[in-house]
Amino acid sequence: MDPSRLIQRLAQAGQSHLMQFWDALSPEEQAVLTLDLQGMDFQEINGFFKNAMETSSSSKHEKMDARMGPVPPEVLGSVTRDRGSLRDWELAGLDCISQSKVAALLLAGGQGTRLGVSYPKGMCDVGLPSHKTLFQIQAERILRLQQLAEQKHKIKCCIPWYIMTSGRTMDSTKGFFSRHNYFGLDKNDVIFFQQGMLPAMDYNGKIILESKGKLSMAPDGNGGLYRALGNQGIMDDMQRRGIEFIHVYCVDNILVKVADPSFVGFCVQKGADCGAKVVEKTNPTEAVGVVCKVDGHYQVVEYSEITLATAEKRSTDGRLMFNAGNIANHFFSFSFLRDVVQKYEPMLQHHVAQKKIPYVDPQGQLIQPDKPNGIKMEKFVFDIFQFAKTFVVFEVLREDEFSPLKNADSQDGKDTPTTARHALMSLHHRWVLNAGGHFIDENGRRVPAIPSLKDGTDLPIKCEVSPLVSYGGEGLEELVRGREFQPTLMIDVSGVHQLVKNGV
């Protein structure tokens, strides 16, 4: 194998060090490294680095406060303050779904590293009575929603599910779906594609080697979605299917209403090309980005980019002025998404994340740094809000729609398998109560609908409703009205089951 042309390309790009261990590599390792290097556009990567570092250094010290404005009321819909319109929005969304115009797009590139597992987050079982994984819960919500639209409009329909993985999660994700027969979905309507990868670089713009023959690579952020949609033929697939509206969301939210008809209908009726679902931020110091206007354009401003004084500002009604908490849950029209992919994506700047990146030193020894030694570059999915002509915001209740899974279980842990499990069981408990069911304790006494929290030890009642039975709490009356149940209660397609402690 003659590496001379490659050496020349690397020299021109200032990345010659990537071949420094060439002679120490086996022929197989040389072949792998050659393949990796041949697939890279070094001039483009060097340009990304230069622009990202310039943007990062110029914006680092400038707080956003003076440039920010809250979401104006005319673009805001709310499940609590617009109750009178909810049914209309839901029906409009179901109508679009029944015509097979709506697709769901799942951002599933993340591994469960912070969860302490080596597999993709969507394969996590948070310990529900059914032991369903996040992937299965979401798949079954799609099946139920198709069924609801078909019942309403007497026409067969399909919600195609586009799943963006990363290089690290693609094979295991596809294998998992295959082993589980796509959870009842038609495999032709589950479309996998892969986000791009970018090399990690040191502060001098040199690509980092994680071993003698391997570059340190990382996914290019969830905003890598737009480039991947274009270069993997996904936009063409959507166009062929007649997709007009796309719901984009993150894998780690156990409460996500996939292709939510109310959200879709709200956005469609408002004529929006882009929409963001948000939850109200009630604590000024909660580390969540907020949707707002900056210099007249919509964007998400991270908590770290504003001062405490701005975070604490309140409106005349007493609510936080900047309270539209971003939950990575978005609506796009197909035409807007196509414009983003074709016109706007190249204009997006990479964000810089400073990281501790393992590297090999000139002697070929692997070093684990104890402080940041380089950067990973990424784009964010919300970076394109600024290009929308008609942007809307839909506010939902956190307890109904947002419980992310990010960390391993620990004492008083936040965003853990336990908090996700409790959030879902608490939601299903409320569904049963709203449908006229009641819970009793082991002595036959009715459990109060609102538990006493005085000792702080109350856990949610163990109750799980299969998404195949109910998408959002509908259809439970005939199963539970006037009945009393002892936990654990499970409601699935085969009926209502009470699992008692010593067995079923």
Show pLDDT as tens, one digit a residue, over the chain (504 residues): 578 899 999 999 999 999 999 999 999 999 999 999 998 999 999 999 999 888 777 654 467 889 999 999 999 999 999 999 999 999 999 999 999 999 999 999 887 888 988 899 999 999 999 999 999 999 999 999 999 999 999 999 999 999 999 988 999 999 999 999 999 999 999 999 999 999 999 999 999 999 999 999 988 989 999 999 999 999 999 999 999 999 999 999 999 999 999 999 999 999 999 999 999 998 999 989 999 999 999 999 988 889 999 999 999 999 999 999 999 999 999 999 999 999 999 999 899 989 999 999 999 999 999 999 999 999 999 999 999 999 999 999 999 999 999 999 987 789 999 999 999 999 999 999 999 999 999 899 998 877 654 444 568 899 999 999 999 999 999 999 999 999 999 999 999 999 876 444
Q: pLDDT value at position 378?
A: 92
CA 264 to CA 329: how far, in whole Å?
11
**pTM for the whole thing?**
0.93
CA 501 to CA 480: how far, in whole Å?
21
Residue whose C-alpha is closest to residue 24's, from 209, 264, 239: 209
Residue whose C-alpha is closest to residue 249's, from 335, 330, 131: 330
CA 119 to CA 124: how far, in whole Å?
8
CA 293 to CA 322: how far, in whole Å?
10
In single-letter form, the type of residue at position 264 comes to V
Q: Which two tokens stand for residue 254?
A: 């156990």
Q: pLDDT value at position 64?
A: 84
Distances (CA, A) of 255 to 130, 145, 278, 331, 382: 16, 15, 13, 17, 21
Q: pLDDT value at position 59?
A: 57
Task: Identify the three-state secondary structure at position 80.
Answer: coil
Write out the E strands in 115-154. Answer: none
- Which residues are CB-contacts of 267 (< 8 A; sequence separation ≥ 6)? 245, 275, 331, 392, 394
Q: pLDDT value at position 148?
A: 98
Residue whose C-alpha is closest to residue 402's, from 276, 294, 309, 273: 276
CA 263 to CA 327: how far, in whole Å?
14
Q: How many CA atoms lie within 13 A of 355 on its CB side?
A: 18
Q: Which long-range contacts (CB under 8 A, 24 or more apart) does 487-490 make?
A: 487/439, 487/461, 487/462, 487/463, 488/129, 488/462, 488/463, 488/464, 489/432, 489/439, 489/461, 489/462, 489/463, 489/464, 490/129, 490/130, 490/463, 490/464, 490/465, 490/466
The sign of the CA dihedral 223, 270, 281, 474 is negative
Residue whose C-alpha is closest to residue 341's, from 384, 294, 398: 384
Q: pLDDT value at position 67?
A: 92
Where does residue 211 rank: exposed (0-12), middle (13-18), buried (19+ CB within 10 A)? Answer: middle
Length of the chain, please? Answer: 504
